[in-house]
Amino acid sequence: MEQESDIQDELKSRGPLPEHIAVIMDGNGRWAKERGMARVLGHKEGVHAVRDVTEACAELGISYLTLYTFSTENWNRPAAEINALMHLLIKALKREASTFHKNRIRLQTIGDIDQLPVPCQRELTDLMADTSKYDGMTLILALSYSGRWDISQALRSIGSRIESGVLSADDVNEEVIARSMSGEAYPDPDLLIRTGGEKRIS
């Protein structure tokens, strides 16, 4: 713990740390393919990277970490690869539960979670409930998520409130739209990192 504190002090001496870091987890499949390996092996390596990033951010005192792990576009991948990814997700959640408790990490999700297999939904729901009172870092997993999906669900929510009379069309502004987005409970990311070498956002 003393060493962790020294590292935090050193970093803070260079300037304020980000409150919220977001990471687009990309390139695992390409990494494996370039080495003549099956894509799923790259995803397995990606799970180890997720653990390292999560623990490092928790130790540094980062308040929020968002990991974009599975986008809505990823549903277009071959069924075998999707099944392998879902299996990896379930295993990772079960295996890393002790890490969440040890570091008092609160798990949250954004995205169309209802599209995930029921066993994945169950593991996520259980771990989110078990960690809901923790006061350490908040880890947000973006699963079956994309910006277009988020905008669409926000507009559906606003439209529903207009139809029910809770909201009028004239009331719709940037603030109303922002509050309708799935990440409205968290501060905007201060730092966005994309792995895999691509210089773009999804």
| Residue positions annotated with a catalytic role | 26, 74
Coil/strand/helix, residue 201: coil
Structure tokens at 120: 């994945």
> How distant, in Å, are the alpha carbons of 79, 114, 120, 123, 148 from that of 131?
31, 20, 17, 12, 29
Q: What are 68's strand-pairing partners?
A: 24, 142
**Contact between 93 and 127 (Cβ < 8 Å):** yes
Q: Which residue has the tokens 């507009």?
A: 155
Residues 6 or more apart whose Cβ sits within 8 Å of residue 70: 85, 89, 111, 142, 143, 144, 145
